[in-house]
Amino acid sequence: DTAVSQTPKYLVTQMGNDKSIKCEQNLGHDTMYWYKQDSKKFLKIMFSYNNKELIINETVPNRFSPKSPDKAHLNLHINSLELGDSAVYFCASSPAGGRQPYEQYFGPGTRLTVT
């Protein structure tokens, strides 16, 4: 069974469109994350949710809005897509509060290409 899944894996869209990426984890973890990996492979956290509550909100444009309907899901909605949004977006999950295992489990990534 897939632990952290993301859909879609590839997304090609035009500037100005609105798109969503879905993430689900079946590990029973409390905390979920969104990361952006740019063309230079730099991985930067965007958001984290703990049990549906927003915990980390890095300096991300307001066009990006995470939504967590329950603790197993964390979706990322992006409005008015721009060329600079092209990247690979990773979802991840982990137990919270210093509980083992301490590492994050990553989804397969969604490659977003804005044309």
Partner 1 sequence: AQTVTQSQPEMSVQEAETVTLSCTYDTSENNYYLFWYKQPPSRQMILVIRQEAYKQQNATENRFSVNFQKAAKSFSLKISDSQLGDTAMYFCAFRRVDDKIIFGKGTRLHILP
Give the footprint of partner 1 on this chain (CB under 8 A): 31, 33, 40-45, 48, 50, 55-56, 88, 90, 92, 94, 96-98, 101-106, 108-109, 111
CA distance 81 to 21: 13
Q: How far is the CB of 75 from partner 1 (least distance, A)?
A: 19
Closest by CA to 3, choosing from 19, 23, 31, 30, is 23
CA distance 28 to 7: 19
Q: How far is the CB of 42 from partner 1 (least distance, A)?
A: 6
Specify the residue, 27 or 96, whose C-beta has the smaller distance to partner 1: 96
Q: How far is the CB of 79 from partner 1 (least distance, A)?
A: 25
CA distance 77 to 21: 6
